[in-house]
Amino acid sequence: MEIEENFLYTKEHEWVSIEDNIATMGITDYAQEALGDVTYVELPEEGAEVEQFEEFVSVESVKAASDIFAPMAGKVLEVNRKLEDDPAWINKDCYGKGWIARIEVRDMDESTNLMSAEEYRNYLESLEH
């Protein structure tokens, strides 16, 4: 299972990469593997305000529909429109071209509610037992 070292993670298997006050987010390798072929992504409205851990994206795979939660509170600055026609980018490159949204972070302290790569790795191991 691939984990990006410098990213932060949620228990719901979202990743976030924070630069300045912009958080780019997506779902982890574990999540895309569990979902299987992603066939549809309902992206949030650009400009929408979201709270930390609020559901704000819906992802469908051949198997099922799943809710995706905002890893940080703030304003949705940009969404990955490429996913509208080719949601399989989430399977092919979940930490890169399969990013979902960029959020202008409202409160940087909220990052303490997230896991480091090391903590997320341990968390995944604990799920297997």
Partner 1 sequence: MTVETSLYNTPLADEHVALGAKMVSFGGWNMPLQYESIATEWEYNRKAVSLFDCSHMGEFMIKGDAKACGLDSIVMQAISDMPLNSCRYGAMLNDLGGVIDDLIVYRKGLRDWMIVVNAANIEKNARHFRAHLNSSAQFEDASFKTAKLDVQGPQSRDALKFLAPGIEKLTYYTFDQFQINGISCLISRTGYTGELGYEIYCPWEKAKEIWKTILNNATVKPTGLGVRDVLRVEMCYSLYGHELEETISPLEAGLDKFIDEKKDFIGCQSVSAHPPGKVIGYFISASRRSPRAGHKIFDTSGNEIGGVTSGTFSFGLQLGIGIGFMIPDANKVGMGVLFGDEKNKTAATVAKRPFYKKGSLKS
Question: Contact residues for partner 1 (CB under 8 A)?
Answer: 36-37, 39-40, 42, 60, 62-65, 87-88, 91
Pick 4 or 42: Cβ nearer partner 1: 42
Closest to partner 1 by CB, 35 vs 73, is: 35
CB 52 to partner 1: min, Å: 23
What are φ and ψ of residue 71, in 5° steps?
-75, -20
Minimum CB distance to partner 1, residue 18 (Å): 30
Q: Whose Cβ is closer to partner 1: residue 86's or residue 119's?
A: 86
* Residue 115 DSSP one-character state: B
The pair of structure tokens assigned to 103 is 């959020």
Which candidate, 90, 42, 86, 38, places its Cα nearest to that of 63?
38
